[in-house]
Chain A
Amino acid sequence: MSIVVEQKEALDARIAPLLARAQALYEDLDLRAVQAWKSEDPSRRAIGFLPVYAPREVVHAAGALPVGIVGGGDQVEIVRGDSYFQSYICHLPRSVVELAVSGRLAPLDGFLFPSTCDVIRNLSGMFQILLPGKFVHYLDLPQNFDRRLGGEFYQHEMRTVAREVGKLTGIEVSDERLRASIVAWNANRAALRELRALRSERPWLVPTAEHYLVLRAGYLLPVEEHTRFVRDYLAAVRASARHPLDNIRVLVRGAFCEQPPVALLRTLERAGCYVVDDDFLQGAHLIPNDVREDGDPWEALSDAFLHGTVPTASIYDEKAEKGDALVRRVREQRVDGVILMAPSFCDPALLDQPMLQAALEKAKIPFTSFKYAEDTGQFQVIREQAGTFADAIKLWGSA
């Protein structure tokens, strides 16, 4: 065995356990990691939040663990969940209800339902009925972006969440505690920014599925632990011997809420596409830049939401700039083409698509589009479509 090969194996051995852990967390639908965290101190509480975005800093400052609930993906057999939804409702709420009625969300002490869409909104009411006695809060995120209007309302919402979670933990959220939480999440944002930058610069080092799993681990781990985890992964892949393939660079939009199965992400890469930018698990990076750490922390969090989010289908596009923002992002990321990939029956994503397509057409940026569900199991058609898209760009520079 040559020295080079030995070195490669040693380096891959650094990545493997990290990925194994991320995979285990991804598959942890019984929330064993949450139970383990809670068992260390009986006073600990965990709060689930639905897509897309909730200010996790507030939950953290109240002494609870924010846990992302993004459905059961392709891992859950829907036994009862389907009986709660008509065939034309997207898949995510079915698996969320399945997880709830099968007791797998029992380690959670409460739930936040952000104002993402009508389905998530109504799901908040369903949880009030299905899980009586649990703390269930509909989190109305502002669609007015004036600090004195939407900002003030949002601060009131956040304080309500802090008060209610504080009742569960016995911890009052002081400005100091909230500021400390902002610092912790800023450290996490910095690590994620680094990860995204590395992926954009050398996408062969950070395959899409791995990037996703690393991101997803942050929906279960305490933030400090996740930050260390991301940094460990960064160090491991930077030192790896992974080499580039002849793939095109693509950007994905539309997958902001219901998550694609990991196998679908691998399919895109195998079809010849490096995903260098995406909106998977968007709550983790909706606010990509640091939140102000000085001054009033409530105001800082509010300002970050009002003016620091990336465009997404569930937030009103006040300045009609989402098309331009997409084109700008394509240029910045030196992307060859765009994949518009939305969940079936997702009103926000699918209603956004014509506007995004118009912007791409105007800028003469190649794109392709398809729909998926979190439990999509057949990838051949998608592989062919993405492969043809990649080949066309490689051969002719356009799809």
Chain B
Amino acid sequence: MSTTFVNLSSAEERRAAANAIKDQSQERQKELIAGYFSSLAQAKANGKKVIYTFVPGNLTELIANFDLLPVLPEINALQNGMRGRTGDFIHLAEKGGHSEDVCTYVKADIGMLRSGNVGPTGEPLPKPDALLLSYTGCFTFLKWFELLRAEYDCPVIMLHTPYQGSGQITPAMREYVVKQLREVVIPKLEEISGKRYDEEKLKAALARSARAEEDLVGVLESAKCKPSPIDAYFGGVYYIGPIFTAFRGTQEAVDYYQLLRREVEERAAKKLGPVTPEGALEHERYRLVVEGPPNWTSFREFWKMFYGEGAVVVASSYTKVGGLYDRGFRHDASRPLESLADYCMGCYTNLSLPDRIDLLARYIEDYEADGFLINSVKSCNSFSSGQLLILRELERRTGRAGGFIESDLVDPRYFSAANIKNRLESYFQMIEAKRQRV
């Protein structure tokens, strides 16, 4: 990546610069997400119909093609988790017969529904007019929408997304998804919305998607700079917010990612570290690659365990669950439905385990990471099952230090701060020891 490096004279200057350029994109991101939740709260009053769907393999451009609004239950769950609401929701779901063993996103969602379906921003969430089950990379999605269907008594539109078991998208897989889009998903969305499918409109949206994706890749790859101007995990989850939720294919997303990229490139040019909740990180001591989703209930505390030690995440797999763009994929207006099919099948959790290992190994090399860390979450078998083999294989292939911690997505009972902090401290010592040996 090409950057111009400018040294600022003092720490104060660097911090001031960091805070100044942080505000614009972060404020814009906040506005977008808040606006999205407001539009959901007013959806029924405004005569808008609502489609519940999932982040991986989401068909945002297609949903927008019919002027429908997407609701993403995982986003509600994680936003509720960050606001400390999910403990009660999960408790409520378990009281209602849901096992303590299963996915806490599902239980947080069921609990929220039973508590009046007030969303994370305190505004009510609209009932779905349909559930679009494009279940990429997670079998639990299937059960989740079976459960929601029983609660809401609304239609489910199933999109079976084949898994890349052999490490590739075959023509048969693509054809299967495209046919489902054409013969199932589109006619059902037409029926629900009362509007005709408009391919030209879809093409225009996909062209905008590709522009935003290009800039998102620019942002994520800025972490190859030393120091990295971003944290590609804790900061990364804010960056992916708009494109993973309701904004892919919109001009707002294009503008946001342009702005974000410009800011990040400026930070890189000035050799500034990533923005943390306590200002810009000044000394990058450890560069890490992280596999697995973050914990949301103690997100800030978790993040501090990293930046407090000068650890920066330079690449992460979690920021690829809603689209894996840094391997070259872009939505393609010239082949709209094929492109949507490839997108659905290309998300990170739809990759085979060997492919996931290849990707992480490449991140470790390309981003010159000191090591990699796996945050294994109890809730998510799609991510977690096989992670201990990933750990071994990555250690064997890269020779870098591997760490392993355990937590959960939104169940506060499974975040043990002392344990995680201890493990992280040991892990950082391991990196130091490796450095000394070198």
**Complex contacts, A84 vs chain B, CB 8 Å:** 386, 388-389
B184 near A88 with CB under 8 A, answer no
**Complex contacts, B103 vs chain A, CB 8 Å:** 347, 351
A129 near B354 with CB under 8 A, answer yes
Q: Does A212 interact with chain B (Cβ within 8 Å)? A: no
Shortest CB-to-CB span from B400 to chain A, Å, is: 18
B352 near A150 with CB under 8 A, answer no
Q: Does A379 interact with chain B (Cβ within 8 Å)? A: no
Q: Does B165 interact with chain A (Cβ within 8 Å)? A: yes
B353 near A129 with CB under 8 A, answer yes
The stretch among A12-20, A118-126, A197-205 that forms the contact with chain B is A118-126
**Complex contacts, A123 vs chain B, CB 8 Å:** 385-386
The stretch among A214-222, A231-239, A315-323 that forms the contact with chain B is A315-323
A355 near B386 with CB under 8 A, answer no
**Complex contacts, B102 vs chain A, CB 8 Å:** 347, 350-351
B179 near A351 with CB under 8 A, answer no
Q: Which residues from 369 to 417 on chain B have a C-beta closer than 8 Å to any C-beta of chain A?
A: 376, 378, 381-382, 384-389, 393, 406
**Complex contacts, B389 vs chain A, CB 8 Å:** 84, 126, 129-130
Shortest CB-to-CB span from B320 to chain A, Å, is: 16
A143 near B160 with CB under 8 A, answer yes
B176 near A149 with CB under 8 A, answer yes
- Contact pick for A140, options B96, B106, B165, B376, CB 8 Å: B165
Q: Does A63 interact with chain B (Cβ within 8 Å)? A: no
Q: Does A388 interact with chain B (Cβ within 8 Å)? A: no
Question: How many A residues face the partner with a CB closer than 8 A?
Answer: 56
- For B121-136 the 0/1 string (1 means CB < 8 A from A) is 0000000000001010
**Complex contacts, B11 vs chain A, CB 8 Å:** none
Provide the bound-state CA to CA distance between A357 and B96, in Å. 10
- Contact pick for B385, options A122, A313, A348, A354, CB 8 Å: A122
Known: A84-B389, A88-B101, A316-B142. A117 touches B176 (CB 8 A): no
Q: Does A37 interact with chain B (Cβ within 8 Å)? A: no
Q: Which residues from 308 to 331 on chain A have a C-beta closer than 8 Å to any C-beta of chain B?
A: 313-314, 316-318, 320
- For A205-232 the 0/1 string (1 means CB < 8 A from B) is 0000000000000000000000000000
Q: Does A372 interact with chain B (Cβ within 8 Å)? A: no
A149 near B179 with CB under 8 A, answer yes
- For A116-152 the 0/1 string (1 means CB < 8 A from B) is 1111011111101110000001101011101011101
- Contact pick for A86, options B97, B179, B353, B376, CB 8 Å: B376
The interface centre, meaning the residue of B356, B378, B385, B406 with most chain A CB atoms within 10 A of its CB, is: B385
B353 near A354 with CB under 8 A, answer no
Provide the bound-state CA to CA distance between A316 and B160, in Å. 10
Known: A122-B353, A347-B139. A142 touches B101 (CB 8 A): no
Shortest CB-to-CB span from A141 to chain B, Å, is: 9
Q: Does A307 interact with chain B (Cβ within 8 Å)? A: no
- Contact pick for A348, options B143, B162, B173, B354, CB 8 Å: B143
- For B4-17 the 0/1 string (1 means CB < 8 A from A) is 00000000000000
A347 near B143 with CB under 8 A, answer yes
B139 near A137 with CB under 8 A, answer no
Provide the bound-state CA to CA distance between A155 and B391, in Å. 36
A118 near B139 with CB under 8 A, answer yes
Which residue of chain A lies nearest to B376 when distances are taken between CB atoms in the complex? A86
A86 near B99 with CB under 8 A, answer no
Which residue of chain A lies nearest to B144 when distances are taken between CB atoms in the complex? A351
Q: Does B343 interact with chain A (Cβ within 8 Å)? A: no
Q: Does B183 interact with chain A (Cβ within 8 Å)? A: yes
The stretch among B24-32, B39-47, B146-154, B301-309 that forms the contact with chain A is B146-154
Known: A85-B385, A126-B353, A347-B102. A144 touches B184 (CB 8 A): yes
**Complex contacts, A357 vs chain B, CB 8 Å:** 97
Q: Does A113 interact with chain B (Cβ within 8 Å)? A: yes
**Complex contacts, B33 vs chain A, CB 8 Å:** none
Provide the bound-state CA to CA distance between A357 and B95, in Å. 13
Shortest CB-to-CB span from A367 to chain B, Å, is: 11
Provide the bound-state CA to CA distance between A88 and B356, in Å. 21
Q: Does B188 interact with chain A (Cβ within 8 Å)? A: no
CB<8 Å pairs between A and B, sample of 23: A86-B384, A88-B384, A89-B385, A122-B353, A125-B355, A126-B353, A128-B353, A128-B354, A143-B135, A143-B142, A143-B158, A144-B160, A144-B184, A148-B183, A152-B176, A153-B160, A313-B143, A316-B160, A317-B146, A345-B101, A346-B101, A347-B140, A371-B99
Given contacts A124-B353, A371-B101, 16 further A-B contacts (CB under 8 A): A115-B163, A116-B139, A117-B139, A122-B385, A126-B389, A138-B163, A138-B165, A143-B158, A144-B180, A152-B176, A153-B160, A348-B143, A350-B99, A351-B144, A352-B146, A355-B147
Give the top 5 A-B pairs by smallest Cβ distance, nearest first.
Answer: A125-B353, A138-B165, A351-B143, A143-B160, A118-B381
